[in-house]
Amino acid sequence: MQDAPLLISNILRHGQLTHGESQVITIEAGGHRSATFDEVAGRAEKLAKALRRLGVKDGDRVGTFCWNNQGHMEAYLAIPCMGAVLHTLNIRLPAEQLAYVINHAEDRVIIVDGSLVPLLAAVKDDLKTVETIIVVGDGDTSALGETLSYEALLAAEEPGFEWPDLDERSAAAMCYTSGTTGNPKGVVYSHRSTWLHTMAEQAASSIGMTEEDRILIIVPMFHANAWGTPYAAWLAGTDMLMPQMYLMGEHLAAIFNEYHPTLACGVPTIWNGLLQLDKPVDFSSVRAITAGGAAVPQALIEGFEKRFGATIIQGWGMTETSPLAAFGLPPARRLEGHDDMYYKIKAGRVVPGVEIRVVAEDGSVLPNDGTSVGEFEARGPWVTGSYYKDEDPDRFHDGWLRTGDVGCLDEQGYMTISDRTKDVIKSGGEWISSVELENAVMAYPDVFEAAVIAVPDHKWSERPLVAVVPKPGKTLDPSALVAFLKDRVPRWWLPEQWAFIEEIPKTSVGKFDKKVMRAAFADGAYAVHKVDLPK
Ligand code: ADP
């Protein structure tokens, strides 16, 4: 066979030549802007030329500080295909972490959306390697000092760029973890890993997009490459709906009503916001909704089925796994005694190409029997083998990545995530799954959201504390909640400590921020209600 390298420029050319009429649609105030794949590819060529003219060489890092929009898609194509490295910057990182990741990656150029200029300007004086800032769209750029206009740069170039033949193992993109559990760590994706990941995403055992589809990409393009959906959609000729900053329930409802996506991807908190919205939402065009990045509560899956007639398919992955590693389509052959919901609430089924195993604390590999609980380890061609300039030998051993997630695998490869190692609750020597407990609480009708953390206990070492946000206008009685949980979780899991709060703190990518919650509890910021547990 020919030894053709697996390059993102293959993906670019395929979408351009084969699906030239497919569209990238960017939502804007009061309307939208659309461009064909052919136009987007032509603009990517001009962007590559402009970056080359600015001195960007192979391997140089070019940061993007952007919403999900057409310009960001152009950067996704131009930067890796020209041989540079796309560094997607998380626009919600705290300032010091943002400066840290830009300096750590040594970004030379940053492309920033006009609306995000103030956030970047806040760290400008701390940036050590950035030489050029390119601003997309309107906005007052004065706070950034000298900048270049994205449109002016493109206007000065002719289309056409000879995409170079690169080593498929060279760096194409990098993304830092959101730092939920420490400082952000850099993960570098190669052309080869991105190509293979895109194929996996395109498989029928995953979402399998086609030209008939139109995907609403809510998960940010700075968060694990929007789960790989931009490249997969480009390869398949799937129309992409880019929501920019229009991410609140009302905006999303309007997008569903007007633009009729067939697919949409987002974290559970986004879907919960839409489910609770008291406005009509037209889901008639939708064939599947995907959710991941955090556990998807059963109540959310049921709520979507009931209200919208829509299926939520759950996936599991991490920045370190590109991220797709498990995807939750139900099996054709169901194991006896397992109903639909058994599969739907799983984090996903291991996707072809990735291997997952469960490892006990003593290092032994546990059986895939659906009950043996340990830490997940992963390996495969789109699982990272190290962090960028950051030795972390604890996370990598014998070619496996220690994921920091705890749970079990069943005989058919479906994963149950019970916790992150950092969040487990060890009560009397036994583990209580904070995730399962949260899901059980969130099934209570008047609960909007709930998160569970471990709090110290002199008798049991740790006990669960449940922080609950009631639905608007509702008050909750902790004893009634405990009574509700009685038949839903093991007796010794029943939480005696409850706090009713206005909002669960979230990380920059919309996950419950348990680090912040534990600190709030330790500072006495939570008014804790103690309940007598039923005998
Ligand atoms: P960070 O590690 O910075 O929070 P990631 O997006 O890489 O950002 O997060 C990966 C983590 O998200 C996983 O290790 C896991 O804990 C969690 N996660 C992802 N998908 C699921 C899921 N379906 N169910 C439960 N947890 C999930």
CATH of the domain at 110: 3.40.50.12780
Instruction: Report the C-alpha dihedral over residues 274, 276, 278, 281, rounded to 10 degrees.
Output: 30
The alpha carbon of 180 and the centre of ligand 1 are apart by a number of angstroms equal to 9
In a domain, 251, yes or no: no
Please report the atom of ligand 1 found closest to the CA of residue 328. Answer: 23
Task: Read off φ and ψ for residue 496, nearest 5 degrees.
Answer: -95, -10
Which tokens in the block code for residue 75? 């950067």
- Element housing 105 (H / E): helix 95-105
The alpha carbon of 366 and the centre of ligand 1 are apart by a number of angstroms equal to 22
Rounded alpha-carbon distances, angstroms, from residue 110 to 115, 118, 351, 520: 14, 14, 34, 35
Please report the atom of ligand 1 found closest to the CA of residue 348. Answer: 23
In a domain, 387, yes or no: no
Which residue, 237, 254, 281, sits at the end of a domain? 237
Q: Per residue of the chain (535 residues), what is the pLDDT tens digit?
A: 999 999 999 999 999 999 999 999 999 999 999 999 999 999 999 999 999 999 999 999 999 999 999 999 999 999 999 999 999 999 999 899 999 999 999 999 999 999 999 999 999 999 999 999 999 998 899 999 999 999 999 999 999 999 999 999 999 999 999 766 567 999 999 999 999 999 999 999 899 999 999 999 999 999 999 999 999 999 999 999 999 999 999 999 999 999 999 999 999 999 999 999 999 999 999 999 999 999 999 999 999 999 999 999 999 999 999 999 999 988 999 988 899 999 999 999 999 999 999 999 999 999 999 999 999 999 999 999 999 998 788 899 999 999 999 999 999 999 999 999 889 899 988 889 999 999 999 999 999 999 999 999 999 999 999 999 999 999 999 999 999 999 999 999 999 999 999 999 998 888 899 999 999 999 999 999 999 887 7
Pairing of strands 85-88, 171-176: parallel
Interatomic CA distance for residues 315 and 292, integer angstroms = 5
Cis ω for the linkage preceding 323 (within 30 of 0) = yes
Q: Which residues line ligand 1 (CB under 6 A)?
A: 177-180, 224, 292-295, 314, 316, 318-319, 347, 403-405, 417, 420, 509, 511
Please report the atom of ligand 1 found closest to the CA of residue 511. Answer: 4
Residue 430's Cβ-side half-sphere holds a number of Cα atoms within 13 Å equal to 6
Burial class (CB within 10 angstroms; exposed 0-12, middle 13-18, buried 19+) of 118: exposed
Give the total number of structural domains in the chain. 2
Residue nearest to atom 10 of ligand 1 (CA): 318
The alpha carbon of 321 and the centre of ligand 1 are apart by a number of angstroms equal to 10
Residue nearest to atom 5 of ligand 1 (CA): 318
Give catalytic residues, as residue numbers. Answer: 177, 320, 426, 431
Q: What range does the domain containing 76 cover?
A: 9-237
Residue nearest to atom 12 of ligand 1 (CA): 293
Interatomic CA distance for residues 408 and 178, integer angstroms = 25
Which residue, 237, 267, 294, sits at the end of a domain? 237
In this structure, the number of other CB atoms found within 10 A of the CB of residue 202 comes to: 20
In a domain, 317, yes or no: no
Task: Read off φ and ψ for residue 205, nearest 5 degrees.
Answer: -75, -5
Interatomic CA distance for residues 124 and 118, integer angstroms = 10
In a domain, 289, yes or no: no
Please report the atom of ligand 1 found closest to the CA of residue 417. Answer: 25
- Which pTM does this prediction carry? 0.94
In a domain, 524, yes or no: yes
Residue type, 242: M
The alpha carbon of 447 and the centre of ligand 1 are apart by a number of angstroms equal to 23
Residue nearest to atom 25 of ligand 1 (CA): 295
In a domain, 454, yes or no: yes
- Tell me which of 178, 267, 405, 421 to substitute to probe ligand 1's pocket, judged by most ligand atoms within 8 Å of the beta carbon: 405
CATH number at residue 470: 3.30.300.30
Interatomic CA distance for residues 476 and 124, integer angstroms = 46
Which residue, 222, 237, 252, sits at the end of a domain? 237
Interatomic CA distance for residues 419 and 180, integer angstroms = 14
In a domain, 346, yes or no: no
Interatomic CA distance for residues 43 and 37, integer angstroms = 10
Which tokens in the block code for residue 461? 């070492």
Residue nearest to atom 2 of ligand 1 (CA): 177
In a domain, 472, yes or no: yes
